Amino acid sequence: MYSFDYQRATEPKDAVSALQADSDAKFLAGGQSLLPTMRLRLAQPSKLIDVTRIAAMKAIRVDGQTVSIGAAVCHADVAANADVARALPGLAFLASQIGDRQVRALGTIGGSLANNDPAACYPAAVLALNGTVVTDRRRIAAEDFFVGMYETALAADELITSVEFPAAEKSAYEKFRNPASHFALVGVFVAKTGQGVRVAITGAASSVFRSPELEQALSANFTPEAARGVTVSSGDLQTDLHASAEYRAHLIPVLAARAVAKANS
Ligand SMILES: Cc1cc2nc3c(=O)[nH]c(=O)nc-3n(C[C@H](O)[C@H](O)[C@H](O)COP(=O)(O)OP(=O)(O)OC[C@H]3O[C@@H](n4cnc5c(N)ncnc54)[C@H](O)[C@@H]3O)c2cc1C
């Protein structure tokens, strides 16, 4: 590891102005994606601005309508929060399945979304639940946030401060995990609300996406059988050393059916 400066921010505006003062600086959250990248010399920031001590970014608030999670909340705290588990069981379960104990103790929801790894779990929840990414300067709808592989709508100096999820009648997440990393080979998040059913898939393509076929089938009939009856094309899916596009296409309805069974239980 080469040398770099470290600064601990206590307010969002201080973190943003520190970043604006140094174009080679980066925000540091749990470091679970950034530090390995630095060790591999794929990133060489001159300064890391730690955002995990910003009190306003560490709160979880749940009311009848909305679940709001501070960007610096770690995965373990989302998984363990009883109010989140009651309001959005799929979200709490998703957080409990990320990586291992150490990754969950350090990694944050804001860091995960900013990184937008194509196999990350949280993007599926944000897209399926029609969430909103709140930053130091604006609110970004899930549909507009995920732009492509490791790419988001965030400006280079923009700080995610929280993520808001509207309440859902039912929600569930199922993933077929990579046995080594626990990242999603394929992950499917299913959400049923008064507005209909939304299904988001992660791990299968260059970025998270919704499945219109599954949404249509499940809006008509919210059962595992309806999900299993859907055929997903492998055309836009990814082949890599872990799985072929065809295998991923096969997994999507299988996992969607399991998620629906769980949501209905
Ligand atoms: C062994 C291992 C297994 C893993 N398994 C899984 C898994 O199963 N599922 C899964 O989803 N993820 C998995 N991860 C990734 C993990 O969830 C990380 O926590 C996440 O990718 C990054 O979060 P972080 O808080 O560590 O961010 P960091 O690594 O600190 O930062 C990541 C990027 O986001 C930027 N950033 C951080 N916070 C903010 C913010 N508030 N606003 C704007 N930009 C910000 C940073 O500048 C950096 O570019 C795994 C990681 C490891 C090491």
Residues 92-145 have pLDDT tens digits of: 999 999 999 999 999 999 999 999 999 999 999 999 999 999 999 999 999 999
Q: Are 66 and 137 in contact (CB under 8 A)?
A: no
**Of 42, 48, 161, the residue nearest 110 (C-alpha):** 161
Segments making up each domain of the chain, as ranges: 170-264
Please report where in the chains the tokens 């008509």 appear, as a residue. Answer: 220
Nearest CA to ligand 1 atom 47: 27
Tell whether ligand 1 has an atom less than 6 A from the beta carbon of residue 208.
no
Distance 81 CA to ligand 1 centre (A): 20
Best probe residue, ligand 1, of 14, 108, 121 (max atoms within 8 Å of C-beta) = 108
Distance 110 CA to ligand 1 centre (A): 8
> From the alpha carbon of 34, which atom of ligand 1 is closest?
29
What pLDDT is attached to residue 214?
98
Tell whether ligand 1 has an atom less than 6 A from the beta carbon of residue 62.
no
Residue 259, amino acid: A
Distance 220 CA to ligand 1 centre (A): 36
Nearest CA to ligand 1 atom 27: 111
DSSP-based three-state secondary structure for 227 = helix
Q: Are 202 and 177 in contact (CB under 8 A)?
A: no
Give the H/E segment covering residue 182. none
Best probe residue, ligand 1, of 28, 50, 98, 152 (max atoms within 8 Å of C-beta) = 98
**Of 8, 5, 54, the residue nearest 25 (C-alpha):** 5
Tell whether ligand 1 has an atom less than 6 A from the beta carbon of residue 135.
no
Distance 208 CA to ligand 1 centre (A): 16
Instruction: Give me the tens of pLDDT residue by residue for the chain, a chain 265 residues long.
Output: 678 999 999 999 999 999 999 999 999 999 999 999 999 999 999 999 999 999 999 999 999 899 999 999 999 999 999 999 999 999 999 999 999 999 999 999 999 999 999 999 999 999 999 999 999 999 999 999 999 999 999 999 999 999 999 999 999 999 999 999 999 999 999 999 988 999 999 999 999 999 999 999 999 999 999 999 999 999 999 999 999 999 999 999 999 999 999 999 9
* DSSP secondary structure, 27-76, as one string: EESS-TTHHHHHHTTS---SEEEE-TT-GGGS-EEE-SSEEEEETT-BHH
Which neighbouring-strand residues pair with 61?
Answer: 68
Q: CA 147 to CA 217: how far, in whole Å?
A: 26
Residue 219 gets the label, from left (phi > 0), alpha (psi -120 to 50) or beta, of alpha
Gap between the terminal Cα atoms of the chain? 49
pTM confidence score: 0.97
Nearest CA to ligand 1 atom 48: 34
Domain 170-264 has CATH 3.30.390.50: yes
Best probe residue, ligand 1, of 22, 33, 183 (max atoms within 8 Å of C-beta) = 33
